Amino acid sequence: MPRKIVVIGAGGAGLTAASTAREHNPEAKIDVFTEDEYIAYSPCAVIYAIEGVIEDFDSIIMHTPEYYGKKRNISVHTKTKVASVDVDKKIVNVADGTSMPYDALVLATGGRMFVPPIEGVKLPGVYTIKHVAEGKAMKAALKKTDCVVIVGAGVIGLMMAVAVRNLGKKVTVLERYPNVIPRIIDEDMSAIVQKHCEGLGIKFVMGTPITAIKGKEKVESAVAGGKEYPCGMVIMATGVRANLELPNQMGLEIGQLGAVRASTTLQPYRNDHLVSDIYVAGDMIMCESAATPGPIMSQLGSTAVRQGRVAGINAAGGYATYPAALSPWVTYLGEIQAAGTGLSKGLAEYFGLSIVEGKAVGLTRARYYPGGKEITAKIIADKETHRILGAQLVGGEEVTGRINWMTGAILNNVTVEEFVTSYENAYCPPTSMVKDVVNQAAEVLMAKLNGSK
């Protein structure tokens, strides 16, 4: 009898799990269930399709259910809700009344947009961004309005603000925290990003939570700090919470961050015991931080595919682990790129760590080479051990590789001194300074830690 693998969820985590399971087990019967109509796309790509940088929504979809069927012998059941899972009997019960037994189950139902329960939030003209269907509706609606309020200045809120601004709309961003991309990057780095976005014509109302949305039949304004901001559309970019419907029904343990607690093999817990033959992955789970002991959620596409791979190997009967996450991320905001990895100042404080910061401003090319763009690097280290805990970058180009570089250093518990002494950078005038801005920041940090300069 071939192994029966069932995957619930068809985002990055679920489909990577299914494909990886197929690679590791050519014989298995693999079924994927999703409530969604469209599969295999990056939610952040929806924003580019709304803006029109990407011509149509179809092109962001990597593969169709038919492709999975024909090319990988994986059955994808779209628009199909799973009502419950019987963990003891190892059976998935579909909402249409059918059921399917499994040998191994991958749960990857992702996250749900969190929308604060304020007045007017159900009015026509209030949108969230995650699914293709929502994106299509928003794109059509944007043609009929000139003025948009975006709630939340996190990465998704800012990406959306830039996209809508590029479409020529008036854009106001409301944020309850005092700085953009709050908690994940520090105030000084936030300030660079906010200034850049303001330069694009985006207005910010900071430290001011939205309290209501006004309108008779549809959105007419958003209210924050007692002031009314007239608009034809409100986009809620107020974060993603783990989708806990099935985990709760299944009795899986939920951790302190409100997500499914998982072992390094990505197995969930139930009644204080690891559950055999169930694996969890993606936006719905909580794992260990690789920067410091403590839990984090890593709700990133890159994390989803990494966790999906591990879940898929294990579901296929192999063995793989996902030990811990640093959640390196990068975003592109109209000619500027911002990125981070490991702990920010705020997160380090949350974990009770004393930190020292080093920062440098440089260029992405040699000073004399045309086209160089400003880039700011910041490194955070533990005051006690001098271990690098986090890094942040904001610059005009070539930011992604640098944040991966720092991610590797943190993973290997590298101290600032070791970084300065041994972390060579590659150099040629069109792609870097002879001493990279990251190395410069590390030298500043080392001087501070050693009390000189």
Q: What residues numbered 115-154 form the site for a second copy, per CB under 8 A?
A: none
- Smallest distance from a second copy to CB 200, Å: 16
Alpha-carbon distance values, 83 to 11, 77, 99, 157, 365 (Å): 18, 14, 10, 32, 55
CB 152 within 8 A of CB 204: no
State which residue, 128 or 331, has the beta carbon closest to a second copy: 331
Residues 255-294 close enough to bind a second copy by CB under 8 A: 290
Residues 411 to 430 in contact with a second copy, rule: CB under 8 A: 411-412, 414, 421-430
**Per-position x/- string for 332-351, each x denoting binding to a second copy as judged by CB under 8 A, each - no binding:** x----x-x-x----------
SS3 call for 100? strand
Pairing label, strands 233-236, 147-151: parallel
Q: Rule CB under 8 A: say whether 323 interacts with a second copy.
A: yes
Sequence-ordered strand ranges (E) for 62-205: 74-77, 82-86, 91-94, 99-101, 104-107, 111-113, 126-128, 147-151, 170-174, 203-205
Binding of residue 196 to a second copy (CB under 8 A): no
Q: Does 300 bind a second copy (CB under 8 A)?
A: yes
Query: Residue 213, interface with a second copy (CB under 8 A)?
Result: no
* Residue 287 bears catalytic tag: no
H or E, element range at 393: strand 388-395
Site size for a second copy (CB under 8 A): 71
| Nearest-approach distance from CB 314 to a second copy, in angstroms | 13
Name the strand (E) or helix (H) holding 404: helix 400-411
**Cα gap 447→453, rounded to integer Å:** 6
Q: Does 432 bind a second copy (CB under 8 A)?
A: yes
**DSSP E strand boundaries for 108-155:** 111-113, 126-128, 147-151
Q: Are 239 and 154 in contact (CB under 8 A)?
A: yes
Which of 111, 125 has the CB closer to a second copy? 111
Sign of the alpha-carbon torsion through 319, 325, 331, 337: negative
Under rule CB under 8 A, which residues in 390-409 are in contact with a second copy?
397-405, 407-409
Distance CA 429, CA 39 (A): 43
Verify binding: residue 1, a second copy, rule CB under 8 A: no
Question: Which residues face 279 on adjacent strands?
Answer: 106
- Closest contact distance (angstroms) between CB of 323 and a second copy is 6
Residues from 16 through 75 that contact a second copy (CB under 8 A): 23, 42, 44-45, 48, 53-54, 59-60, 62
Give the nearest distance from C-beta 310 to a second copy in angstroms.
8
Instruction: Give whichever of 11 and 232 is closer to a second copy, judged by the CB atom.
Output: 11
Q: Which residues pair with 5 in a beta bridge?
A: 30, 104
Radius of gyration of the chain from its Cα atoms, rounded to whole angstroms: 23
CB of 449 to a second copy, least distance (A): 15
Among residues 44, 197, 231, 287, the one annotated as catalytic is: 44
From the list 120, 268, 328, 372, which residue makes contact with a second copy (rule: CB under 8 A)?
A: 328
Nearer to a second copy, 189 or 326 (CB): 326
Q: Which is nearer to a second copy, 124 or 371 (CB)?
A: 371
216 binds a second copy (CB under 8 A): no
Q: Using N-to-C axis directions, what is the helix angle for 43-51 and 132-142, rounded to 10°?
A: 20
CB of 65 or CB of 308, closer to a second copy = 308
Which one of residues 137, 367, 384, 385 is an interface residue with a second copy (CB under 8 A)?
Answer: 367
Catalytic residues: 44
